Amino acid sequence: MAEMQFDLVSPERSLASLQAASVQIPGADGDMTVMADHAPTITTLRPGVLRVDAGGSTQEFVVTGGFAEIGAQGVSVLAERAIVRAEMTQDMMDEMFDEAQASYTQTKENSGAVDDAAKTLSDIAAVGAEIGLSTKQPTL
């Protein structure tokens, strides 16, 4: 299988730079799998688990947003927040959930468009369920 360059960067650090067979991206418009020679695309990310198949193993990263630039030669992901799945703790999940809940509450109180904030809150809860960490019940 052909390989491509994969890079994942968050504001805090570079988390990965490697040759990958495929990358599963939690896109804002739906999940997508990228392989070598993919058509050029830019997509925004929703909170979710990004999976990278490289060297016969799968690496997982929890991302909360950002965007991915996809080209024939590779994928570059610039994440708002990215954490190696194995390093994710319940405290980190609680912090992410609390931030999403606060954003939703602030948007609702300011008569803003609550749909995006509610979706983010729901996505954070789904990430917790997917990786086996509990989340509080969203207050909508």
pTM listed for this prediction: 0.83
pLDDT of residue 137: 63
pLDDT of residue 139: 61
Mean per-residue pLDDT pooled into runs of 10, the chain (140 residues): 93 95 94 94 95 95 95 94 94 91 84 75 84 70
pLDDT of residue 10: 94
Asked if residues 125 and 97 have their Cβ atoms less than 8 Å apart, the reply is yes
CB-based burial, 73-111: b 16+ in 10 Å, e otherwise: ebbbbbbebbbeeeebeeeebeebbeebbebbeebeeee
